[in-house]
């Protein structure tokens, strides 16, 4: 046996051992879905990805996009059909080799309920842990206010408030598709194209696959912003919602007067929701296993400061 052959065998063995160690220690891939008014590779998202990579060196991170062009991707957060966007994202994720064995996912604001819709409807490749920050899981009862010079937002808000449950709005305005008016709940169930279905609120259309898929998560981490005035009610991030009323208060939710956040309202917490008590989407099963985690970030909507870091350390980037 020659010296060259021995060296070759040793080198091959070392390379194989290194490759095996790499597989074992490589962090699980991560998928991000940005929020309203943002895009997949905006400066803020790129900075967030960089910070996550510092926490989990070597992690593969994919930021979901509806359009490659940043301005068009931002616009897609206001205009489009959520069902179509979630389907496109599912096709996108299934085509990425680094995700084929599963991944953790982080949804920022509306990106959180979109990722939950992915889990319920597709989940192939599967999500391990899902973390959502300030997401509108039980919808919103007021359209978020816009920055003074954000004309795309202003146009979308004006159109949504004028006829939120019209067929056009439900097919073309993103925020209208998760608008859940507690004073007009029947119309929400009849006209809503997205949220009533992923929440399995429409009795004759309940899909058991949604419950099975959500319950397949390892952890569902729900983060609320304590001073959130953008998401109304803020408790939607924890599957809380305003109490369904008798319809007499409809003017207060759709008027151009005071935003709903200035009114007193009764909040129904997650564990008192019919969605939970009757386990329409697998949420109670997850919770009874101890796998629903309720967390808080102190501050306004998406003021994350460093509150994200411990959650990313604990619930993202584990071994495959």
Which residues are known to be catalytic?
A: 109, 228, 301
CB 235, CB 154: distance < 8 Å: no
* Cis preceding linkage at 61, omega within 30: no
CA distance 35 to 108: 5
- 313 closest CA partner among 96, 51, 75: 51
- 286 closest CA partner among 130, 106, 139, 117: 130
Give the largest CA-CA distance in the chain: 92
HSE at residue 83, side-chain half, CA atoms within 13 A, is 11
Is residue 144 helix, strand or coil? Answer: coil
- Backbone φ/ψ region at 37: left (φ over 0), alpha (ψ -120 to 50), beta: left
Q: Write the CB contacts of 186 (distance below 8 Å, at least 6 apart in sequence).
A: none
């Amino acid at each position: 046996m020659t010296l060259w052959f021995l060296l070759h065998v040793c080198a091959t063995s070392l390379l194989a051992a290194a490759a095996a160690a790499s597989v074992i220690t490589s962090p699980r891939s991560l998928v991000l879905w940005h929020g309203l008014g943002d895009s997949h590779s905006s400066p803020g998202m790129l900075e967030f990805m960089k910070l996550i990579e510092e926490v989990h060196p070597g992690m593969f991170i994919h930021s979901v996009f509806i359009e490659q062009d940043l301005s068009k991707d931002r616009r897609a957060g206001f205009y489009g059909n959520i069902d179509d966007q979630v389907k496109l994202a599912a096709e996108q994720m299934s085509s990425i080799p680094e995700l084929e064995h599963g991944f953790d996912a982080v949804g920022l604001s509306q990106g959180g309920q979109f990722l939950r819709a992915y889990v319920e409807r597709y989940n192939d490749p599967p999500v391990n842990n899902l973390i959502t920050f300030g997401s509108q899981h039980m919808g919103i009862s007021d359209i978020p206010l816009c920055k003074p010079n954000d004309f795309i937002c202003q146009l979308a808000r004006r159109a949504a408030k004028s006829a939120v449950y019209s067929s056009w709005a439900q097919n073309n305005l993103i925020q209208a598709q998760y608008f859940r008016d507690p004073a007009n709940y029947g119309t929400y169930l009849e006209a809503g194209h997205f949220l009533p279905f992923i929440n399995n609120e429409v009795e004759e259309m309940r899909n058991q696959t949604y419950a099975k898929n959500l319950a397949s998560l390892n952890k569902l981490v729900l983060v609320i912003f304590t001073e959130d005035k953008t998401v109304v009610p803020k408790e939607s991030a924890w599957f809380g919602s305003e109490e369904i009323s008798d319809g007499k208060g409809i003017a207060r939710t759709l008027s151009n007067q005071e935003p709903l956040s200035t009114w007193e309202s009764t909040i129904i917490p997650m564990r008192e929701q019919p969605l939970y008590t009757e386990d329409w989407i697998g949420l109670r099963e997850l919770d009874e296993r101890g796998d629903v985690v309720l967390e808080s970030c102190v501050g306004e909507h998406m003021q994350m400061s460093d509150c994200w870091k411990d959650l990313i350390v604990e619930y993202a980037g584990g071994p495959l």
